[in-house]
Structure 1
Amino acid sequence: MPTVKTVDRAIDLLECFSAERPELGVGDLATLLGIDKSGASRMAATLRERRFLQMDKTSRRYRIGARMHELARLFDRRESLSQIAVPQLRALVREVAHASHVGVLDGPDVLIVACVESEQQLQVAVQVGERRALHATAAGKLFLAFGADNLLQDLSNGGRLPMVGPKTIDTVTKMNRELASVRREGMAYNREESARGVGAVAAPIYGADKTIAASLTTIFPLALVDQAEWVRIGNHVRRTADRISALLVSA
């Protein structure tokens, strides 16, 4: 496929740069890639337009551009979030005795970036790298409630939302009512919306700009949690999310 080959070649070009080769001319790129200079020039010019490369006006040599640095900072922030969150997750799991995790918004999903399991024999398994549907999870509802306005509409198909679990909220109208409750409480809940017999409580983690940066969730078998326990878990989740927010801002 030509498009895939083009993307592959563009990545090859970016990988020509290194600590030993921070600046490269078009001739250098052509030699390293094994292509003609006109092809290397076109690719470099396109990457420059998209800010992945920048060019020194005097030497006409290219170097890594601002967009690459922006993406690297995003990766660093995610890594920083994981490092900050894990000790707090361990403390939370000791208090509530259920698996807990931190997730970030990634397209139409919540991506799990840190998790700690409980020592209970009966627990809901969670793994780093798992993806969970935005509209069918407590964590996802936080991003829908406090994130960009278009997120929910992008998920829907003619006002309908896909079923994931037995009690998934399946229309935009119903979800908007649920999100209004999430905004009032500052917390989100899941009762068999993602899987039968599974419940969850989630609270937002905020970044320095006061927008939602991540979600903190405790997830558990519904059979083990009565109404009073829902409240107790929620209080611990909220306090832990506030601590992670403060640590993230000061990092």
Structure 2
Amino acid sequence: MKVDILASGSSGNCIALTAGNSTILVDAGIAKTKIEKRLMENGIEPGNILAIFVTHAHNDHVKGLPIAEKYHIPVYAGEEEWKSIKIVSEELRHSVYEHGFLLDPEGRNDWFIVEPFKTHHDAYDPRGYAVHTEEHKVSICLDTGRVDEDILAAMSGSDIYIIESNHDPVMVEHSDYPNSVKARIVSQVGHLSNMQTAEALVQLVQGRGEKIYLTHLSSNNNMPSLALMTTVRQLMKKGFKQDTHYEIEVF
């Protein structure tokens, strides 16, 4: 499976997963024209997108959903999350529950099984997604204040982990954000700190060459080197070495 992270962070999030000639998007949080441009830059025809899966309806995850109307792409989101999504026509709306979805385009030899799982964020019905193809499993967990046993179970056994490593709590505390915003970020329905992410990955990574993408870093309350170092150090305690037992990249 080919992974292209088209956008990551508070300014917008969009991830393309491609198997054969078919692509699905997880989130569409940048302008439609930017999504089209970045898809084409990565060799992906927008007309080959089978579906868009939305993690939740905050603007940095849904801003570009008009692309669904242009190319008639089905959009999937948690049932309650549709309360906050008004820019997708009724015929393209699909709700996800606890069961998986098989996307098997006629006339192609590529397919996806997409399994949603619940996350913990200040939205109506936020979700993460485990995506299977014939050869790979990719798990995507963005915007969650904590990682529980159900999330770990849903993500386990993946070849690729795409997970937010949003902030450093000390940097949040010393930021000039209002106290209400600080409290939201570090809450159980906010965002994962670097250490929370690292501790989750310690439980998930088995040292068999998995690829880790650290995403959704705060531009004000984190640094790529800090996010990377935190996960690498925790995995080292488990005996796993970067580029030997796993690969890691920060977005």
Fold-level similarity (TM above 0.5): no
- TM-score normalised according to structure 1 size: 0.28
TM-score by length of 2: 0.28
Larger strand proportion, structure 1 or 2?
A: 2
